Amino acid sequence: MIPSSPTLPLSEPDTVLEVRDLQVQFETIDGVAPVLEGLSYKLHAGETLAIVGESGCGKTIGALSLLRLAPSPPARITGGAILLNGRDILTLPEEDMRGIRGNDIAMIFQEPMTALNPVLTIGHQIVEPLMLHKRLSRAAAWERAVEMLRLVEIPEPERRVKEYPHQLSGGMRQRAMIAMALACGPKVLVADEPTTALDVTIQAQILALMADLKRRIGTAILLITHDLAVVAQTADRVVVMYAGRVVEDASVFELFENPRHPYTRGLLASIPKLSDGNERQKLEGIPGSVPPVGARPPGCTFAPRCTLAIDACRQSVPALDSVSPTHKVACWAVMDKTSKKELERAIV
């Protein structure tokens, strides 16, 4: 493949977080089942990386593992490394891990009502990590809490800071959770489906807020979502997951304009696109459904649903290979074609 961009960056931008061959399995009385089978990606400073996939692909377990919060049992990390500024946090003692959660890596969740503590005021929940991690005095921490609420555009922050989660609307709660997550100035913000539970006009507000905050604060964002439209609107790079593995890793433009993996193509063909025309588009969908954890097929897990599957797909797992400097894909059929084309080009 000819690189799509003529100028290659000389050095890679700063990697804040690197996940390397992460393996997670579920251990239950029914047996042991792999959930993540070698998850790898890099998150660079100041970028938004989206991890997309459908239910059961392992995207949420992967995100929780970054904070070592995957529920155990059943989840157990059995291999790989999670490097935060070059340091493997999987080997840290639990005590050091506490210094990282909410401080270096913060997380916001899909449902703010269940993620916030209902018996503590919003302010209390923002102040706590500030006093713990940043050793601020109580008064300074409260001042900062008000400042954070103002930053996320909550009206009347001086009053809201003393309110309880149930007194806020869904959109306001999500803003409060973002304020809480950003209070300590984390290097990485993990956002797990941050707008899925919100109405579309509120979703637009929260996405605009997150984009604005990213510009102003420069926190790297790891966005976990199933919604490709949200990805297109917010991400710089995208990692597509299917049944526990990464199938494609590309810049957002390459992914939407030149998707390579048959699963990614199927996903993109499945989303209804708002248009101002009369015509109804024909949605294609992908036949079949995601295999449940514990019943994944050998070889490429997508092979049973894939129209391009060749023998190799059913036998061994394809590696994530580069098709351009900013685009990787794990597919035997695609690599097969690519190498043939390269051969042809070499012969001509």
Partner 1 sequence: MSELSSSPPLLQVDDLIVRYPVKKGLLQPRKHVHAVNGVSFTVRRGETLALVGESGCGKTTVGRSIMRLVRPSSGAIRVDGIDVASLSRRQLKPYRRKIQMVFQDPYASLNPRMTAGEIIGEPLGNFGIAHGADRESRIMSLLERVGLGRSHFHRYPHEFSGGQRQRLGIARALAVEPSLIVGDEPLSALDVSVQAQIVNLLDHLQQEFGLSYLFIAHDLAVVQQISHRVAVMYLGRIVEIGETADIFRAPIHPYTQALLAAVPLPDPRKRRTIEPLRGEVPSPISPPSGCAFHPRCPLAEDRCRREVPRAQEFQAGHFAACHVMARNNQYAALQPVTA
Residue 283 touching partner 1 (CB under 8 A)? yes
Residue 7 touching partner 1 (CB under 8 A)? no
285: left (phi over 0), alpha (psi -120 to 50) or beta: left
Smaller CB separation from partner 1, 56 or 102: 56
Strands 245-251 and 237-242, how do they pair?
antiparallel
Single residue of 12, 94, 95, 276 touching partner 1 by CB under 8 A: 276
Single residue of 118, 277, 295, 311 touching partner 1 by CB under 8 A: 277
Q: How far is the CB of 316 from partner 1 (least distance, A)?
A: 24
Q: How far is the CB of 116 from partner 1 (least distance, A)?
A: 18
Per CB under 8 A, contacts with partner 1 among 180-219 are 199-205, 207-208
Q: How far is the CB of 263 from partner 1 (least distance, A)?
A: 8
Q: How far is the CB of 48 from partner 1 (least distance, A)?
A: 11
Q: How far is the CB of 271 from partner 1 (least distance, A)?
A: 5
Residue 169 touching partner 1 (CB under 8 A)? yes
Q: How far is the CB of 254 from partner 1 (least distance, A)?
A: 10
Per CB under 8 A, contacts with partner 1 among 124-163 are none
Strands 31-44 and 15-28, how do they pair?
antiparallel
Residue 308 touching partner 1 (CB under 8 A)? no
Per CB under 8 A, contacts with partner 1 among 43-82 are 54-55
Smaller CB separation from partner 1, 281 or 316: 281
Q: How far is the CB of 282 from partner 1 (least distance, A)?
A: 8
Q: Beta-carbon neighbour count of residue 284 at 10 Å?
A: 11
Residue 312 touching partner 1 (CB under 8 A)? no
Binding mask 222-261 for partner 1 (x = CB under 8 A): ----xxxxxxxx-x----------------xx--x-----
Contact residues for partner 1, defined by CB under 8 A:
54-55, 169-172, 199-205, 207-208, 226-233, 235, 252-253, 256, 266-278, 280-287, 289-290, 292
